[in-house]
Amino acid sequence: MQAIRMALGERSYNVYIGAGALDEVAVHLRRAKMGPRLALVTNPTVFELHGNRFRETLTAEGFDVSVFTVPDGEEYKSLESAGRLYTEFSEALIERSTPLLALGGGIIGDLAGFVAATYMRGMPLVQLPTTLLAQVDSSIGGKTAVNHGTLKNQIGAFYQPVAVFSDIAALKTLPRTQLSEGLAEIIKSAVIGDELLFRMLERRTKEILAGDERLLQAAVSRAAAVKISIVRRDEHDTGLRNTLNFGHTAAHAIETITNFKVSHGEAVAAGMLIAGRVAAGMGVFPASALERLRAVISAAELPLSLPLNASEVLEAIKHDKKMMSGKLKFILPTRIGQVVISDRVTPDMVAEAIVE
Ligand code: NAD
Ligand code: GLY
């Protein structure tokens, strides 16, 4: 099992990555003198696949585990679900010092993280991501959130976990389409800051999709390392952390106008191609690099084109929160492994790129 340090002063923690990482949690908690009471938050899908067995590893070590489940689905990442958890925690006499273990994908991680940040003004949070996306992105960096009306991820808190355990073996039960979703974020991380990871994806994406554990471990740890190195320097998202939104400006617009019929991974793939095309058109990103990006996206079984109306996408981008003082703020690649934040991108450039 690998450990990567998120160095944030007194909020520092380790991100553990490896097959069987969930089996190490009990010993880790014991050593950290946490418990004996634990609150495990998960959903029924994940609980049946991994939660039961995981709970047994904890009870075998003498922990007293209370399980709280939230139904599966983005619509349950809500204030209502948070409210239900507060009530259930209070009825079960969960205390401020009780560690909350968040076992699941990004939805459980975000919701349980938000509850950990707010119940009794903050309980220790352990992130146990079980999707590829959650292992490389949402479990790391302390962004917790719920949705509210049309506000997606806008009600939340920065709240760092005390540890993250990414069990590569848990990914075995993940549908192939969910691996593609996670790969979109891994490709994103590679373009932002790790050319070697990108080269690995060029050669080995098929094997990653087939569930090769050794390659998954390498991809997860390299992508996690990119995010960790950025968050360490800009925990509260005041500048550099915005580069993690490479591909996401157009992606959010595409998700909005298609009413989320286009998945997040598909939208991010399209968003990265649009940003890459804009950058190539400005002469800051080589056409050959854009071709490599297309090839990797295709190998990850993500679409290279979507039936979109360019002006609708553009309108939605303009309403996006990244629209600053009338200018589009775009994350542009300058080579594989490096991006810049640019305010020189005009709506016409984006429209042309969407059409292409
Ligand atoms: P998800 O949590 O819905 O998980 C996808 C599906 O896989 C669910 O049905 C889940 O029950 C199932 N699942 C989870 N683990 C499984 C496993 N091991 N085997 C089989 N099935 C499994 O979706 P996600 O893609 O993990 O996360 C998306 C969420 O993450 C969104 O709400 C998004 O806003 C959020 N997010 C947050 C951040 C952040 O920084 N906090 C970053 C990116 C995304
Ligand atoms: N997912 C982007 C961030 O954590 O900042």
Q: What per-residue confidence (pLDDT) applies to 328? A: 78
> What are the CA-CA distances from residue 240 to residues 63, 100, 229, 244, 246 (Å)?
40, 30, 10, 8, 11
* Residues whose CB is less than 8 angstroms from the CB of residue 210 and which lie 6 or more positions away in sequence, other chains included: none
Q: What per-residue confidence (pLDDT) applies to 347? A: 87
Q: What per-residue confidence (pLDDT) applies to 111? A: 98
CA of 126 to the centre of ligand 2 (A): 18
Q: Is the pTM of this model over 0.95?
A: yes
pLDDT along the chain (356 residues), means of 10: 97 98 98 96 98 98 98 97 98 98 98 98 98 98 95 95 98 98 98 98 98 98 98 97 96 93 96 97 97 98 93 87 63 98 92 92
Nearest to 353 by CA among 256, 259, 258, 285: 285
For ligand 2, is residue 244 a contact (CB within 6 Å)?
yes
CA of 280 to the centre of ligand 1 (A): 32
Q: Which atom of ligand 1 is nearest to the CA of 77?
A: 32
| Cβ-defined contacts of 25-31 (< 8 Å, 24+) | 25/54, 25/57, 25/58, 25/101, 25/126, 25/128, 25/165, 26/57, 26/58, 26/60, 26/61, 26/63, 27/61, 28/163, 28/165, 29/58, 29/61, 29/63, 29/99, 29/126, 30/61
For ligand 2, is residue 137 a contact (CB within 6 Å)?
yes
For ligand 2, is residue 136 a contact (CB within 6 Å)?
no
| Cβ-defined contacts of 215-220 (< 8 Å, 24+) | 216/132, 216/168, 216/171, 217/2, 217/17, 217/18, 217/19, 217/168, 219/136, 219/186, 220/17, 220/132, 220/135, 220/136, 220/166, 220/168, 220/186
Q: What per-residue confidence (pLDDT) applies to 150? A: 85
Atom 26 (ligand 1) nearest CA: 105
CA of 345 to the centre of ligand 1 (A): 32
Atom 5 (ligand 1) nearest CA: 105
DSSP 27-96: HHHHHTT--SEEEEEE-HHHIIIIIHHHHHHHHTTT-EEEEEE--SSGGGSBHHHHHHHHHHHHHTT--T
Beta strands in the chain (DSSP E): 2-6, 13-18, 37-42, 64-69, 100-104, 125-129, 143-148, 151-158, 163-167, 328-335, 338-345
Atom 2 (ligand 2) nearest CA: 244
